[in-house]
Structure 1
Amino acid sequence: MKAREFLEILHIAERLKDTLRHCTTSKGRVESVAEHSWRTALMAFLLRNEFPELDMDKVVGMCLIHDLGECFTGDIPVFEKTENDREEEEASLNEWIKSLPDDISTQLSELFIEMNAQVTKEAKLYKALDKLEALIQHNEAPISSWSENEYELNKTYAFDIVKFSDWLMTLRKEILNDTMKKIETDKS
């Protein structure tokens, strides 16, 4: 890859630093998509010993790139995102990927195909971490930043996604414990 091509890819990806998400940080600042992707990748990195049979470099890569489509469309909360929104994001992302140098284009295309198919354990783990990170962030954020529907969503979200792993199911239950404590503290 030429240095200029490398820089152009980074310039597009930099947009995620300014693309804001629905979640806020523990101090109440609205987080960026880049921050979410970074912590999702960190989660994968930290879980290498829990999933030794998986290609964790691939999972980290999936976590790093999973929201690149939001460079073009912005972030739409899961409970507001329509099928049309998903199609627009995927079309914009695919158009950009096709414009990249062949080796990078092929690598990204293959990863996104695997991620979307949700067949491999690597793809399932990335998807679970993506969902769990959002729940963890909500629990860390001030409860005043939660929308009304998030009280129930934080209790039920992602249980179906983690069921392939006992370890992730245990983690999801711990996250639920944190959610319930947060809600109870708010009522006090």
Structure 2
Amino acid sequence: MNPEQLIEFLGVLEKLKCNTRHNWTTNGRQESVAEHSWRLAVLAMLMEEDFPELNMNKVIRMCLIHDWGEAVTGDIPAFIKTEADEEKEADAIETLLKNLPETISSGFLTMFKEMSDLTSDEAILVKALDKIETLIQHNESGSGAWLPLEYDLNLTYGNEVCGHFEKTQQLRDKVREHTLRIINEERREHRE
């Protein structure tokens, strides 16, 4: 890849540092898409021993690229994202990858298709961990940053895909326990 192409492509991806998500950090600022993707990749890396049958290098790569379309579209929270939004993001990814040499873009396109269609255990794991990381961040920021609908959503979000693997189900259950603790503490504070 020539240096000019590389610099231009990184310039587009830089928007992932600027584009914020619905999540908040513990110090009260909105999380960037890049921060979410980074921590998702770290989560996958830390769980590598739990999935010896999977290609965890591929999983980590998928984690790092899974939100590239949001460099163009920005983040749309899952609870308001439509099929049209999904298509717009898929188009953004295709357009973005056209700026790369075919030898590089074809591999990324294959991974995006795999993630979109959930056709491999690696893609399913990325989807499950993506939802879990989001919920962990919600819990870390505390209920003061939650919308009313998130009290229920934080208890059910990702349940289906997390059940695919025993380890993600266990982690999802633990995150739900943390969510319930936050909700119960808030209720207790309101009664006092």
Alignment of 1:1-188 (within 5 A): 1-188=1-188
Contact 2:59 2:123 in 1 (8 A): yes
Contact 1:21 1:31 in 2 (8 A): yes
Aligned residues: 188
RMSD (Å), alpha carbons: 0.9
Distance (whole Å) between structure 2 residues aligned to residue 51 and residue 174 of structure 1: 18
Distance (whole Å) between structure 2 residues aligned to residue 17 and residue 92 of structure 1: 17
Higher mean displacement: 4-13 or 134-143 = 4-13
Contact 1:20 1:33 in 2 (8 A): yes
Secondary structure at the aligned position of 2:49 is classed as: coil
- The one-letter code sitting in structure 2 at the alignment partner of 1:169 is Q
Distance (whole Å) between structure 1 residues aligned to residue 10 and residue 81 of structure 2: 26
- The one-letter code sitting in structure 2 at the alignment partner of 1:38 is W
Unaligned runs of 5+ residues in structure 1 are: none
- The one-letter code sitting in structure 2 at the alignment partner of 1:11 is G
- The one-letter code sitting in structure 2 at the alignment partner of 1:144 is G
Unaligned runs of 5+ residues in structure 2 are: none
Secondary structure at the aligned position of 1:49 is classed as: helix
Secondary structure at the aligned position of 2:62 is classed as: helix
Give me the TM-score of the superposition, normalised by structure 2. 0.95
Distance (whole Å) between structure 2 residues aligned to residue 57 and residue 109 of structure 1: 17
Distance (whole Å) between structure 2 residues aligned to residue 170 and residue 142 of structure 1: 22
Give the CA deviation at 1:84: 1.1
Runs of 4+ in 1 over 4 A off after TM superposition: none
Identity %: 45
Give the CA deviation at 1:54: 0.6
Give me the TM-score of the superposition, normalised by structure 1. 0.97
Contact 2:72 2:92 in 1 (8 A): yes
Give the CA deviation at 1:99: 2.6
- Superposed CA deviations along residues 36-66 of structure 1, whole A, max 9, x for unmatched, are 0000000111111000111101000000000
Contact 1:135 1:154 in 2 (8 A): yes
